[in-house]
Structure 1
Amino acid sequence: MSNTIRIGTRDSELALWQAKTVQHALEITGHKTELVPVKSTGDLNLDQPLYEMGITGIFTKTLDVAMIKGEVDIAVHSMKDVPTALPKGIVEGAVMKRASTKDILIHKGVDFLDSQSGTIATGSLRRKAQWLHKYPEHEVVDLRGNVNTRMKKLKESDWNGAIFAAAGLERIEIKPENFIDLNWMIPAPAQGAMLVVAMENDDYCRKALSALNHEASQICVHIERDFLKVLEGGCTAPIGALARIIKDHVHFKGVLFSIDGQQKIEVEESLPLENSKNMGRQCALEILENGGKELMKKIKSVLNN
């Protein structure tokens, strides 16, 4: 191959920001690069809720195909969009240093939070379930599109607010003043993290990417994704997970909700860092034993009908 690393990315403003961040890091370490933007299926179909489209891999599949066909050498993803099992032949190259894991509410005034009515927009089953758990009398409507599109839809709507990942808005500097941190909402596994993948047989790119890897971020997102993998079983579900390293311990909180938010099963654990390798899996098994197995069956039944 040429020594120019072709970086595959979605063509939204946020995806391009992420790809350019990786490009800059590679160039600092002496590598030549080229950006190759592509449109994903998830970006093209904005009318259908993600869970109806078979969300697993919807934003990554197009780039996976481009890599396998040799059209790009590496690909940059928001890690929360990446399926827990990578396609055969594609491997993790680097987890970049993680940004904010928070969900935030962009609002048009917060008086509705104390009332019996309100309309919130989100395309995420996880956010919808957690919002309805806290505010069961509110309505949650679907919201799709890239960050800029969703902000525009919110502005033009009569909704009270919409939920966004803080990291995305901060990265492209469009986080408005009218927001509140949803500190009670458990983020998606790997939220705020960027993953760079490469072909398994591409030693040049894998070596180049290894210098970009942020170990603490990698440890935490792997725990969260192990939790998701054991619970999910290939099904989209309202699952939240957050692992944090504090001193020499990993603190983990994971949660599974019913789609309507009424049922909640959660787990919290703290382990020494050296004993944390199977933490995500162990916590997921605890959820499954405490009613999660039955709840996952119900979720799959609803989503498959």
Structure 2
Amino acid sequence: MQTIKIGTRKSELALKQANNVGASIEKLGGTYELVLIQSVGDIDLKTPLHEIGFTGVFTKALDMALLNGDIDIAVHSLKDVPTELPKGIVQAAVIKRDNPIDILVTKEALNLATKLTIATGSIRRKAQWLHKYPAHQIVGLRGNVHTRLQKLADSEWSGAIFSHSGLDRVDLIPVHHIELNWMTPAPAQGVVTISIAEANVALMPFIQQLNHAETALITQIERDFLNELEGGCSAPIGALASIEKDTVRFKGVLTAPDGKQQFEIEETIKMDQVVDFGRKCAQSILAKGGAEIMKELQN
């Protein structure tokens, strides 16, 4: 087998994820090399993601490299991948999910009942935080993991919100942090995915060996929920599905950007009835009043 060219962004986290996939390829008897590609989301580190103006800010450059044949596969955080892939590109595998929760990184122990300043570049995290803590101030925060941690250290902010999996993969979870079990994560948070050109039929069966079926199922439900709401990767939408024996448990959340309104759904369903489960949950959110929030966001 030829050496598999893995396309990845240049950040430490992206490189760690790509090398982890490469190690799995080696266990199957293959070899790999990394091809580093810069995305729009890595170039513009000031504009909030929801204001950049198109989906796929972290994936588009890698998509082009796949279609041009410059790389064989692309490794992404699945939460960054649009729910509708570009023509000619398919999802070949998803890796077993890591811890999907968000955490609040702080410099010291905090009393969350006091007025605090919290940093995040995510409209979802901002919205859910303001819904729970309306008296707090939210400030923007962009950059790679190291940059964001350094900005927090250099600031007078009370804390900053990160994904547990993102910090854990690069061994950077600080001593002072709070697990935000009440915050509903982004759809597919904590999951790495592998994309491939649809025309690359020879390589597809090999890469599909890396797929974790349970993770593929629950993230499809979460991404169907996102897609049905017509929300992009940077919309204030949270979704988390899990499997317990023969049952799927799902929680979905849509929050107004200012945190003043929030619509939630929590449902369970048998595994054999899971088709369109995420979409039906999204339709319930829209019927409850979520349609107005989505209309305002799209305007």
Both structures adopt the same fold (TM-score exceeding 0.5): yes
Q: TM-score, normalised by structure 2?
A: 0.97
Partner of 1:29: 28
Partner of 2:253: 255
1:234, distance to aligned residue in structure 2 (A): 5.0
Partner of 1:162: 160
Q: Is the 8 A contact 1:252 1:270 kept in 2?
A: yes
Partner of 1:279: 277
Quick one: distance in 2 between partners of 1:290 and 1:177? 40
Quick one: distance in 2 between partners of 1:236 and 1:146? 16
Pair 1:54-2:53 in alignment: yes
Partner of 2:42: 43
1:299, distance to aligned residue in structure 2 (A): 2.1
Q: Is the 8 A contact 2:231 2:294 kept in 1?
A: no
Q: Is the 8 A contact 1:126 1:237 kept in 2?
A: yes
Q: Is the 8 A contact 1:227 1:281 kept in 2?
A: yes
Amino acid at match of 1:38: I
Q: TM-score, normalised by structure 1?
A: 0.96
Quick one: distance in 2 between partners of 1:53 and 1:269? 34
Q: Which runs of 4+ in 1 moved over 4 A?
A: 233-236
Amino-acid identity (%) = 53
Q: Is the 8 A contact 1:187 1:242 kept in 2?
A: yes
Query: Once the two structures are superposed, what CA deviation does each residue of 1:153-207 show, in whole Å capped at 9, x if it has no partner?
Result: 1111110000000001111101111001000000000000001000111122211
Q: Is the 8 A contact 1:76 1:197 kept in 2?
A: yes
Unaligned runs of 5+ in 1: none
Query: Once the two structures are superposed, what CA deviation does each residue of 1:54-83 show, in whole Å capped at 9, x if it has no partner?
Result: 251000011011111111110000000000
Quick one: distance in 1 between partners of 2:231 and 2:185? 19
Amino acid at match of 1:3: Q
1:148 corresponds, among 142, 146, 149, to 146
Quick one: distance in 2 between partners of 1:151 and 1:54? 26
Quick one: distance in 1 between partners of 2:98 and 2:247? 20
Quick one: distance in 2 between partners of 1:127 and 1:141? 11
Q: Is the 8 A contact 1:93 1:206 kept in 2?
A: yes
1:241 corresponds, among 222, 239, 242, to 239
Amino acid at match of 1:69: N
Equivalent pairs counted in the alignment come to 299
Partner of 1:86: 85
Q: Secondary structure at the match of 2:260?
A: coil
Q: Is the 8 A contact 1:103 1:163 kept in 2?
A: yes
Q: Is the 8 A contact 2:7 2:37 kept in 1?
A: yes
Amino acid at match of 1:99: D
Residues 125 and 234 (structure 1), Cα distance of their counterparts in 2 relative to 1, 3 Å cut:
closer
Quick one: distance in 2 between partners of 1:271 and 1:32? 41
Quick one: distance in 2 between partners of 1:234 and 1:140? 21
Q: Is the 8 A contact 2:122 2:234 kept in 1?
A: no
1:33, distance to aligned residue in structure 2 (A): 1.3
Matches within 5 A, 1:196-275: 196-232=194-230, 236-275=234-273
1:110, distance to aligned residue in structure 2 (A): 3.7
Q: Secondary structure at the match of 2:22?
A: helix
Q: Is the 8 A contact 2:242 2:250 kept in 1?
A: yes
Residues 234 and 98 (structure 1), Cα distance of their counterparts in 2 relative to 1, 3 Å cut:
closer
Q: Is the 8 A contact 2:102 2:181 kept in 1?
A: yes
Q: Secondary structure at the match of 1:209?
A: helix
Amino acid at match of 2:171: E
Judge which range, 229-238 or 154-163, deviates more.
Answer: 229-238
Amino acid at match of 2:95: M
Quick one: distance in 2 between partners of 1:71 and 1:228? 30
RMSD across aligned positions (CA) = 1.2
Q: Is the 8 A contact 1:235 1:300 kept in 2?
A: no
Residues 97 and 235 (structure 1), Cα distance of their counterparts in 2 relative to 1, 3 Å cut:
closer
1:112, distance to aligned residue in structure 2 (A): 4.1
Unaligned runs of 5+ in 2: none
Q: Secondary structure at the match of 2:162?
A: strand
